[in-house]
A and B are shown apart, each in its own frame.
Chain A
Amino acid sequence: MSAEPVNSQQHSMPEAWVRIRGLRYTRGEQVIFDGVDMDIPRGRLTAIMGPSGTGKTTLLRLIGGQLHADAGTVEVAGQNVAALRSKALYRLRKRMGMLFQNGALLTDLSVFDNVAFPLREHTRLPELMIRDLVLMKLHAVGLRGARELMPAQLSGGMARRVALARAIALDPEMVLFDEPFTGQDPISLGVLVSLLRSLTDALGLTSVVVSHDVQESLSIADYVYVISAGRVVEHGAPEALQQSTSPWVQQFLQGQSDGPVPFHYPAPDYRTDLLADSP
């Protein structure tokens, strides 16, 4: 499998904010990553795509320092995340935001208080200013009117948008987005796509979007990594990726069930499995 970039402009990319080298991560018997190298450039929008269950969420947790690699290094802003003591790790985390796959809103706080939470924890801003900041973030995701609602009253897509507003509340340098497009209707999807793009361009945010939505990811990303079976199978600019001759990448981009990527989780032969007499 080729792990060489399919475009030749990599040397013109800005410096890497996240640098992953030789990453290996296992869960019991299961090898989730085996020799992953990745550079996530500062101030750009990088998409990481791959079938569900390949470890995209796991990768974000490794970047955020919640999980530790078995081998290899994950560097963020020049610091080896696994080697940081908790004070330094927390200082680094103030510089990044993370949008969790299911939102992970604090269920005992209203939408407003959820977005205000990081501001109240980490700044001494007066309540009036916090209010303005929260309303601005909520406005950006189209939920200023929902500020009084409790998380239980939100749909999955709305909860994820509130979580997005919370992730950018402290104006971080990098935001990790875990499946931001899932559960969005076409209108909010369009708004989200342009929001991610404009956050990256206007604020110089380093964005990492993890997704299995091929079209949306390709349409907004500056750079794309495709991972599968514990490795990076292809990376490059979106246009270059679409030209890729790798049957693997073509199958994934076109969404075909037949090809080098198995649709099935590893299993014994279907026929023998069905015909087996013992349960």
Chain B
Amino acid sequence: MMGLLQRLGATTLGITERIGRGHLFLLYVLGGFPSLLPRFGLVIKQIYASGVLSLLIIAVSGLFVGMVLALQGYNTLVDFGATESLGVVVALSLVRELGPVMGALLFAGRAGSALTAEIGLMKATEQLSAMEMMAVNPLHRVVAPRLLGGIIAMPLLAAIFSAVGIIGGYLVAVGLLGVDEGAFWSQMQAKVDLFDDVASGVIKSVVFGFVVTWIALFEGYDAVPTSEGVSRATTRTVVHASLAVLGLNFILTALMFGDD
């Protein structure tokens, strides 16, 4: 019994300590943001790197998710004779929820794990140490541009996910199920609100991009500098980032859509 309590206490302390270190890490990294402005090329490079990594998988997943949404939505709507609203259902689901959430989950699996491995290996091969000795702060030079890059790339990827998803939904709805094309688009245009729906989706994906990239970079920076340590850290990134995205999505949804 004592042993169990002791282990519980030790684990709790360990987790608390790691969370604390994660926040300190973030603080130092954010301190490097001002110095990125005159060297924005570094950030562009990272947007490109993580964006390109995730682009294909995001586009393909978006297409299939949009197609499934159309199929499922049609089955429900057809009972009420409301199939011309199918465009709205597909678009709202994608823009509000699935684009940001699925996009972030895929981003965590693809770009997040790659970031952790990259930073972890840089640590294991003493590249970060070498930078410190060259009087270059790796948190500012290496980590900060990657964080900002992730924050900018994520909403773009989520938008691509939603856009491709809507095309997938359109293909199934109009091409396969025979929904009226005009109704599909015009209802979508009328019912999807730029501020309520699109902006809230963008806010979500900015938050997710920030959290996923932060977790990925911290796991890499905090990894035990061995091959095993880096591989563990990579796994942890995917697990923790995915859970964080799903949990935060609930909170953000409750905040943004809870009272209307």
A37-75 to B contact mask, C-beta < 8 Å, 1/0: 000000000000000000000000000101000000000
Q: Are A98 and B130 in contact (CB under 8 A)?
A: yes
* Sample (17) of A-B pairs whose CB atoms are under 8 Å apart: A66-B129, A90-B135, A91-B135, A93-B133, A93-B134, A96-B133, A98-B130, A100-B133, A104-B130, A105-B127, A106-B122, A106-B130, A106-B131, A117-B134, A121-B141, A122-B135, A122-B136
Binding site for A on B (CB under 8 A): 121-122, 125-127, 129-137, 141
Min distance, Cβ B126 to any Cβ of chain A, angstroms: 4
A105-146 to B contact mask, C-beta < 8 Å, 1/0: 111000000000110011000000000000000000000000
Which of A93, A94, A107, A117 contacts B125 (CB under 8 A)? A107
Cα A66 to Cα B137 in complex, Å, equals: 12
Closest 10 CB pairs of A and B: A104-B130, A104-B126, A93-B135, A90-B135, A98-B133, A94-B135, A118-B134, A121-B136, A64-B133, A100-B126
Which of B122, B126, B132, B134 contacts A102 (CB under 8 A)? B126
Chain A interface residue number, banded: 20 to 34
Cα A122 to Cα B132 in complex, Å, equals: 13
Across the two chains, which residue of chain A brings its CB closest to B125?
A104
Cα A166 to Cα B131 in complex, Å, equals: 11
Min distance, Cβ A59 to any Cβ of chain B, angstroms: 14
Cα A102 to Cα B122 in complex, Å, equals: 13
Cα A102 to Cα B124 in complex, Å, equals: 11
Cα A66 to Cα B133 in complex, Å, equals: 8
On chain A, the residues within 8 Å of B136 by CB distance are 117-118, 121-122
Q: Are B134 and A100 in contact (CB under 8 A)?
A: no
Which of B121, B129, B137, B141 contacts A100 (CB under 8 A)? B129
Min distance, Cβ B94 to any Cβ of chain A, angstroms: 35
Give residues of chain A (84-105) contacting chain B, Cβ–Cβ below 8 Å: 86, 90-91, 93-94, 96-98, 100, 102, 104-105
Cα A98 to Cα B126 in complex, Å, equals: 12
Q: Interface of chain A, helix or strand or loop or mixed?
A: mixed
Min distance, Cβ B106 to any Cβ of chain A, angstroms: 24
Total cross-chain contacts (CB, 8 A): 52
On chain A, the residues within 8 Å of B141 by CB distance are 121
On chain A, the residues within 8 Å of B129 by CB distance are 66, 100, 104
On chain B, the residues within 8 Å of A97 by CB distance are 133-134
Across the two chains, which residue of chain B brings its CB closest to A121?
B136
On chain B, the residues within 8 Å of A104 by CB distance are 125-127, 129-130
Cα A77 to Cα B137 in complex, Å, equals: 22
Q: Are B127 and A107 in contact (CB under 8 A)?
A: yes
Cα A80 to Cα B252 in complex, Å, equals: 49
Cα A104 to Cα B124 in complex, Å, equals: 10
On chain B, the residues within 8 Å of A66 by CB distance are 129, 132-133
Cα A117 to Cα B142 in complex, Å, equals: 13
Min distance, Cβ A209 to any Cβ of chain B, angstroms: 16
On chain A, the residues within 8 Å of B132 by CB distance are 66, 93
Min distance, Cβ A87 to any Cβ of chain B, angstroms: 10
Across the two chains, which residue of chain B brings its CB closest to A96?
B133
Cα A185 to Cα B125 in complex, Å, equals: 23
If A96-B133, A100-B133, A121-B136 are given as contacts, then 4 extra A-B residue pairs at C-beta distance below 8 Å, sorted by A number, are A93-B134, A106-B131, A107-B125, A163-B130
Give residues of chain A (169-190) contacting chain B, Cβ–Cβ below 8 Å: none
On chain A, the residues within 8 Å of B127 by CB distance are 104-107
Which of B122, B125, B134 contacts A121 (CB under 8 A)? B134
Cα A118 to Cα B136 in complex, Å, equals: 8
Min distance, Cβ A56 to any Cβ of chain B, angstroms: 15
Min distance, Cβ A79 to any Cβ of chain B, angstroms: 14
On chain B, the residues within 8 Å of A107 by CB distance are 121-122, 125, 127
Min distance, Cβ B249 to any Cβ of chain A, angstroms: 33
Min distance, Cβ A234 to any Cβ of chain B, angstroms: 29
Cα A234 to Cα B175 in complex, Å, equals: 87
Across the two chains, which residue of chain A brings its CB closest to B142?
A106
Min distance, Cβ B203 to any Cβ of chain A, angstroms: 33
Across the two chains, which residue of chain B brings its CB closest to A93?
B135
**Which of B127, B130, B132, B141 counts the most chain A CB atoms within 10 A?**
B130
Min distance, Cβ A15 to any Cβ of chain B, angstroms: 24
Cα A107 to Cα B127 in complex, Å, equals: 8
Cα A187 to Cα B137 in complex, Å, equals: 36
Across the two chains, which residue of chain A brings its CB closest to B141?
A121
